Amino acid sequence: MATDSGAESGNGSKEPEKSQIEPFRMPSAEEIRAQEVWNNCAVRSVVSGVMGGGLGLFMGLFLGALDNHPTMHDEMTGRQQFIYTAKQMGQRSWGSAKTFAVMGLVFSAAECVVEKARAKHDMTNTVVAGCVTGGVMSAKGGPQAACIGCAGFATFSVLIEKFLDRHS
């Protein structure tokens, strides 16, 4: 009795082997348009800014809830404590939302512009974008603060990229 090598499964029925290579499928017109929209630096930057603002909002709410140091805390009623904490959370949330929105927008814009100019997707884009973002975020502190911000944010960006393993 001859059997077909590899064509029989363990239960005795004959099944064709499934191909390991999927056929190439051309993208649809809608997929191409969506990709073109996402490749626009302005769109990418605004989306990153909005997402950064949302992250900052939630972080501000969380950290604002942890800020609990009024000097007359023992003399405040429960309602006054609640109102004070709510105001602290709101102020912290708004400040964090603005900071993270600017950070996301600047980083994404810088990375996109550098990537388009160099026509490469590599770690250099991340370093430059991190430096620009760190410099912009700390520019109010003067040139020395901008340089330290540049170096610090560039280093942080590279570490995040290595952790996410985006540039193999």
Q: pLDDT tens digits for 86-113? A: 888 888 899 999 999 999 999 999 999 9
| Cβ contact 107:129 at 8 Å | yes
* pTM, two decimal places: 0.73
Residues 139 and 110 in one domain: no
Number of domains in the chain: 2
| pLDDT (0 to 100) of residue 57 | 93
By the 10 Å C-beta count (0-12 exposed, 13-18 middle, 19+ buried), 38 is classed as exposed
Q: In terms of domains, do 81 and 153 share one?
A: no
| Residues spanned by the domain of 56 | 38-68+76-118
Q: Report how far apart, in Å, the C-alpha atoms of 125 and of each of 27, 29, 99 are.
A: 27, 30, 22
Query: Is the domain of 93 the same as that of 46?
Result: yes
Angle, helices 29-38 vs 41-66, to 10°: value is 60
Residue pair 140/163 in contact (Cβ under 8 Å)? The answer is no
CA distance 50 to 117: 25
